[in-house]
Amino acid sequence: MPAALTVFRVFLLLAASPGIEKHFVRLLKGARDWWSGKKIAVIGPTASGKDSFLARLQNREIPEVHSNSPMGEKVRSFRVKLTLSNHQVIDITCKGVINIGGETDYRDAPSGWLSVCADADVVFYVMTVNDLSKKRYLKGRRIRQDLDWLQTAMPHLKPGALIHILINKIDEEIESHIDYRSLAEELAEELGALNTTVKNVLHPYESSYTGATLISMKNKQIYTRAVNDALRSVYSAFHGTVKRKKVE
Ligand SMILES: Nc1nc2c(ncn2[C@@H]2O[C@H](COP(=O)(O)OP(=O)(O)OP(=O)(O)O)[C@@H](O)[C@H]2O)c(=O)[nH]1
Ligand SMILES: [Mg+2]
């Protein structure tokens, strides 16, 4: 899906047009089956919202104040209940999710990010919309360093592991803007640049990258729709990879 469209959808959420809702939140059975029992890992810079994401997945409110997560803190397996249209609820089981703080020492320590990601099927990298607009994915900067780290980590991950980026705190950006259309255009441009960077940096593992989704852990409405979107994107990217492999 073109980036501009994805961004624009987030803003449409605010308008909450009833007609589009059904289309937005539908997750097909194939995708639900695929996600069922998947193991996810959540990594990213400090205070990006990793604990908030895990809280939302467990239907809890997000932590108000930021407390640095201790290294290698384990989070028990939990079932994710996703509410779809027609009041339909689906269960997704996330097994052995491990949470970890975001400092670079955590990343590079032996019991750091690698041990977290090692047996995950899907790795969620959480960054903020501020990281995106401040272009922290450019060479030498924090997000880029993490992407470089991911590239070197790829051969040590589970074969076929997928990487998805969550761009959090979109609510802050929405609050501080009035012209949503120009904001959407700006963000779309940045998203395009980010995607290009990620694919270049991850080479030759770029097919593991399933894209980036704008999200807000704080705003439940945006969270709910964005997470459905992210799950669907991961699944369709996976599907595309499998199809491409078959053709080859
Ligand atoms: N405005 C806004 N604030 C958020 C959002 N998500 C998280 N926060 C806040 O950001 C702070 C950090 O969130 P955490 O989830 O603890 O971040 P973390 O990534 O687990 O941080 P470390 O464990 O230290 O790496 C908290 O104060 C949250 O309330 C969001 O979507 N919007
Ligand atoms: Mg944390």
Q: What is the mean pLDDT of residues 15-44?
A: 70
* Closest residue to atom 12 of ligand 1, CA basis: 47
pLDDT in tens, 201-235: 999 999 999 999 999 999 888 888 888 889 888 99
**Is the pLDDT score of 18 beyond 70?**
no
CA 56, CA 224: separation in Å to the nearest integer? 9
Query: Distance, CA 47 to ligand 1 centroid (Å)?
Result: 5
In this prediction, residues 133-156 reach a mean pLDDT of 96
9 Cβ partners below 8 Å, 6+ apart?
Answer: 24, 229
- Is the torsion defined by CA of 222, 227, 228, 233 positive or negative? positive
For residue 44, the ligand 1 atom closest to its alpha carbon is: 19
Residue 177 in any domain: the answer is yes
- Which amino acids bring their CB within 6 angstroms of ligand 1? 44, 46-52, 62-66, 68-69, 101-102, 168-169, 171-172, 216-218
Q: Is residue 56 part of a domain?
A: yes
Residue 93, strand partner residues: 79
pLDDT of residue 16: 46
In a domain, residue 248? The reply is no
pLDDT at 6: 57
Burial of 30 (0-12, 13-18, 19+ CB in 10 A): exposed
Residue-wise pLDDT for 150-170, tens only, equals 999 999 999 999 999 999 999
State the pLDDT confidence band at 142, using cuts at 50, 70 and 90.
very high
Average pLDDT of the residues in 16-22: 46
127, 214 contact by CB (below 8 A) = no
CB contact at 8 A, 233 and 213: yes
Q: How far apart are CA 241 and CA 72, in angstroms?
A: 32
Q: Which atom belonging to ligand 1 lies closest to the Cα atom of 45?
A: 25
In a domain? residue 102: yes
Q: Per mean pLDDT, which of 138-142, 179-183, 230-234 is the most reliable?
A: 138-142
Rounded Cα distance, 62 and 159, in Å: 32
Per-residue model confidence (pLDDT) at position 152? 95
The pLDDT assigned to 96 comes to: 64
Distance CA 217, CA 126 (A): 11
Ligand nearest to the backbone CA of 217: 1
**Residue 247 in domain:** no
For residue 94, give the nearest of 70, 61, 120 by alpha carbon.
120
Mutation test of ligand 1: which of 60, 174, 176, 217 has the most ligand atoms closer than 8 Å to its C-beta? Answer: 217
pLDDT classification of 10: cutoffs 50, 70, 90: low
Distance CA 186, CA 103 (A): 29
Burial track 168-204 (b if 16+ CB lie within 10 A, e otherwise): bbbbebbeeeeebeebbebbbebbeebbebbeebbee
Q: What is the CATH number of the domain that holds 105?
A: 3.40.50.300
Q: What is the pLDDT of residue 211?
A: 94
Nearest C-alpha neighbor of 173 from the set 191, 152, 198, 150: 191
**What tens digit of pLDDT does each residue of 42-97 get?**
999 999 999 899 888 888 888 887 777 776 677 667 777 766 555 666 677 776 66
The burial of 213, by beta-carbon neighbours within 10 Å (0-12 exposed, 13-18 middle, 19 or more buried), is given as buried
Number of folded domains that form the chain: 1
Distance CA 225, CA 17 (A): 13
Please indicate, yes or no, if residue 172 is contained in any of the structural domains: yes
Range of the domain at 169: 3-241
How far is the centre of ligand 1, averaged over its atoms, from the C-alpha of 78 (Å)?
Answer: 20
Considering the domain boundaries, does residue 246 fall inside one? no
Contact 230, 215 (CB under 8 A): yes
Predicted TM-score of the model (pTM): 0.88
Q: Which ligand is nearest to the CA of 62?
A: 1
